[in-house]
Structure 1
Amino acid sequence: MTQTFVEIGRTMDKGSRRTRMAGAVGDLWDDTNWIVRIAALLGLVLLVLAIFAPVLAPYDPVAQSLLSRLGPPLGFEGAKAGHWLGTDELGRDVLSRSLYGLRLTLGVAFLGAVIGMLIGGTLGLAAGLLRGFVDDLVMGLVDIQIAVPFTLIALLAVAILGGDLQVLVVVLGIAYWEQYARITRGEVLRLREMPFIEAAQASGASGTRIALKHVLPNLMSPLVVIFTVNISNIVLLESTLSFLGLGLRPPTATLGSMVGMGRDYMPSAPWIVAIPAILILLITFVIQMLGDWLRDHTDVRLRDR
């Protein structure tokens, strides 16, 4: 009897999740969601530009030509032939560096968000299921993370360990893990009181099976929402570190480092800063809009209002 109850609960829950996701995909192209549709199209364009940057970039992003330095974009007086968006202070093509910077910034942000989700999700799941000392320890670490501004921790870590790609990804990965831990713990505490979880326990299912088969699938929706929002947060954090000179070492281009290195030339060559800054703005806009849309269409409590 209990086994039947478990299967019914799991089937109903899977059907509910599939229905919500199918409805969300359909609502994406609803006439009332034109802003979200624009964000989705922009996101697709940015993703294509990042993936095919080596093909689309007209020049090597680190190739210098002092004879072509500070050339304006095409259409302005003094523009250099072939450099559509102008050149920077070392004669490097701004379009090529922007494409490669977009590719690297999105890649670092995605990997950092994955690391944060794995760390925070695992700790939150353990805290919610095991309770006791594990719960107190995890929530204590969460309180410490919230109390100390992470930007200062990131500055210290990068200054000590260096600005290598691996170090930067790890630092960005632990930036927002506490958000995953708190949400996961709260959802686990709610789910463990559900009838199908109690039935699984009564049927003799192990803690590992309950966590993987019953609890974890129900956590995917809130975790995906946090994941999308945190990508934009990590993009801004990476841009801040690069702007301060603590990101990847030159001549590697990220959007933040391009803004940081070009700020001294803003009065005479504003395009050096404007192009990567616009890309950062577009990235955050797209991810925030899609994250809000995903939250509204996967959270049952919001859909029922």
Structure 2
Amino acid sequence: MSDTTIGSLRETTGNPFSVQRRIPGKAWRLWVGLDWPMRLVLVLAALLVFAALTAPLISPYEPNAQSLLLRLKPPIGFMEARAGHLFGTDELGRDVLTRCLYGLQMTLLIAVSGAIIGMLIGGTLGLLAGAAGGTADALVMALVDIQIAVPFTLVALLAVAVFGSDMHVLIVVLGIAYWEQYARIIRGEVLKLREMPFIEASRAAGASPLRIAFRHIVPNVISPLVVMFTLNFSNIVLLESSLSFLGLGLSPPTATLGSMVGIGRDYMHTAPWIVAAPALLILLITLVVQMLGDRLRDRMDVRLRDR
């Protein structure tokens, strides 16, 4: 083979390492194209995920290590602060910073798992209702109406009373919290897609309903599903915190951000840092996820993107 042929093949196929060199450049261009609030949000999201994943490595103490001689010590900067306890100590002398890191890890784990379960349940039922129609549609929408009508706190109380306050129970309870929102949105999208010309063309070509659903409908409902996931994730975090605050979360001494706020409410007048640190983390998580969800919606919504 001549050198000219080899050169032409290289130009046609390209250097296999050129794609790897272009990836950092493309990521940098995307980063430069973002405004500074979005950059700040991405940095905060990365820091939160990093802190949750590396909690056992970066925590200065054990999460349940008690020292009654050091109970209710204020954070660094106060006169009675104790060296080594940046965020102070709680009513049992446990390090608040360590508890916050482990609580962040547990809260994110429960919230992500619950949000994924809700997305899978709601997305599947919404796809079934919109694609099948008829009795299936009526049954799914009846379940949606029941979910909306019944107060979710009563459902959580019943689940905890019957099955106990185990982590798996809490994840399932959170998973069925907002599935009806996914079902309604996906059902509406499927009903619109069913009347599109390319669906009619596939049906006229003899494609089976299952092939139409997975080949044409599912790829077109992934975008609203992902956006709905990001917007509902913060609601899951707040719901988990509320249930833990009411004593329906994980049993002590396991730390979640909501349980830390719930336990610390009795010491708000004498030791407000016990509540302030986990409450600020909850606020930061919800703010970051909401801003990411809004930006993702703007990027995926063609009408908003064109504006």
Q: Provide TM-score, normalisation by structure 1.
A: 0.89
CA distance in 2, matches of 1:29, 1:154: 45
Letter in 2 for 1:48: F
Q: Where does structure 2 lack aligned partners over 5 or more consecutive residues? A: 1-25
Letter in 2 for 1:174: I
Match for residue 243 of structure 1?
Answer: 245
Match for residue 77 of structure 1?
Answer: 79
Shift of 1:181: 0.3
Shift of 1:28: 6.4
RMSD over equivalenced CA pairs, Å: 1.7
Shift of 1:25: 10
Identity of aligned residues (%): 69
Please list the CA deviations of residues 8-31 of structure 1 after superposition, one character each: whole Å capped at 9, or x if unmatched. xxxxxxxxxxxxxxx999676546
Please list the CA deviations of residues 102-142 of structure 1 after superposition, one character each: whole Å capped at 9, or x if unmatched. 01101100000100010000000000110000000001111
Letter in 2 for 1:285: L
Are positions 1:184 and 2:179 aligned together?
A: no
Give secondary structure in 1 for the equivalent of 2:65. Answer: coil
Match for residue 277 of structure 2?
Answer: 275
Alpha carbons of 1:237 and 1:25: their partners in 2 closer, same or farther (altered >3 Å)?
Answer: farther
Please list the CA deviations of residues 201-243 of structure 1 after superposition, one character each: whole Å capped at 9, or x if unmatched. 1222221111111111111110001101111001000000100
Match for residue 47 of structure 1?
Answer: 49
CA distance in 2, matches of 1:230, 1:151: 17
Moved beyond 6 Å, runs of 4+: 23-28
Q: How many residues align?
A: 282
Shift of 1:35: 2.1
Match for residue 3 of structure 2?
Answer: none
Q: Is the 8 A contact 2:63 2:94 kept in 1?
A: yes
Alpha carbons of 1:191 and 1:28: their partners in 2 closer, same or farther (altered >3 Å)?
Answer: farther
Match for residue 8 of structure 1?
Answer: none
Are positions 1:101 and 2:103 aligned together?
A: yes
Give secondary structure in 2 for the equivalent of 1:145. Answer: helix
CA distance in 2, matches of 1:140, 1:218: 25
Which has the higher mean CA deviation after the structures are superposed, 183-192 or 145-154? 145-154
Shift of 1:76: 1.2
Letter in 2 for 1:74: I
Q: Is the 8 A contact 1:72 1:78 kept in 2?
A: yes
Match for residue 141 of structure 1?
Answer: 143
Shift of 1:301: 2.4
Shift of 1:84: 1.2
Give secondary structure in 2 for the equivalent of 1:85. Answer: coil
Alpha carbons of 1:231 and 1:280: their partners in 2 closer, same or farther (altered >3 Å)?
Answer: same
Give secondary structure in 1 for the equivalent of 2:144. Answer: helix
Q: Is the 8 A contact 1:258 1:273 kept in 2?
A: yes
Q: Is the 8 A contact 1:71 1:78 kept in 2?
A: yes
Please list the CA deviations of residues 14-72 of structure 1 after superposition, one character each: whole Å capped at 9, or x if unmatched. xxxxxxxxx999676546x3222222211111111011111111111011111111111
CA distance in 1, matches of 2:58, 2:254: 18
Match for residue 176 of structure 2?
Answer: 174
Q: Which of these two proteins has the greater Rg computed from alpha carbons? A: 2
CA distance in 1, matches of 2:269, 2:141: 48
CA distance in 1, matches of 2:199, 2:31: 33
Q: Where does structure 1 lack aligned partners over 5 or more consecutive residues? A: 1-22
CA distance in 2, matches of 1:303, 1:219: 17
